């Protein structure tokens, strides 16, 4: 019985560690998935910081891969922390869907 549980949990770990890689390979820092609250923060940061130098960009105007590059050049301009960079990116990509 104990052995069965061990096998089951190993399988679960394998599943958990494989699935996110396929779907989040595009995320800027490649690490974590943002919570709904962090995405909401990302929206606020986006609206407050990204319309300062130009019109607020339309999240639908670029695909998620393009946004990685754009965010890599814009996050320093907007003086975002790595976390804020991630949240804004996740917000932008969440709008697109």
Residue count, binding to ligand HEC (CB under 6 A):
14
Q: How far is the CB of 19 from ligand HEC (least distance, A)?
A: 28
50 touches 28 (CB < 8 A) = no
What is d(CA 52, CA 49) in angstroms, rounded to the nearest whole number?
A: 6
**Per CB under 6 A, which of residues 31..50 are in contact with ligand HEC?**
49-50
Q: Whose Cβ is closer to ligand HEC: residue 31's or residue 44's?
A: 44
Q: How far is the CB of 33 from ligand HEC (least distance, A)?
A: 19
Selected binder of ligand HEC within 57, 68, 83, 94 (CB under 6 A) = 57
Task: From residue 34, give the alpha-carbon distance in Å to each of 39, 52, 54, 56, 91.
Answer: 6, 25, 26, 22, 9
Tokens coding 97: 């869907």
Which residues bind to ligand HEC, rule: CB under 6 A?
49-50, 52-54, 57, 70, 73-75, 77-78, 80, 88
């Amino acid at each position: 019985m104990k052995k069965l549980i061990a096998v089951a949990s190993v399988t679960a770990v394998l599943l958990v560690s494989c699935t996110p890689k396929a779907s989040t390979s595009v995320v800027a820092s490649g690490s974590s998935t943002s919570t709904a609250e962090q995405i909401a923060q990302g929206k606020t940061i986006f609206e407050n910081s990204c319309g300062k130098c130009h019109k607020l960009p339309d999240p639908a105007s670029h695909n998620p891969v393009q946004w990685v590059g754009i965010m890599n050049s814009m996050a320093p301009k907007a003086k975002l922390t790595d976390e804020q960079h991630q949240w804004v990116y996740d917000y932008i990509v969440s709008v697109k869907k």
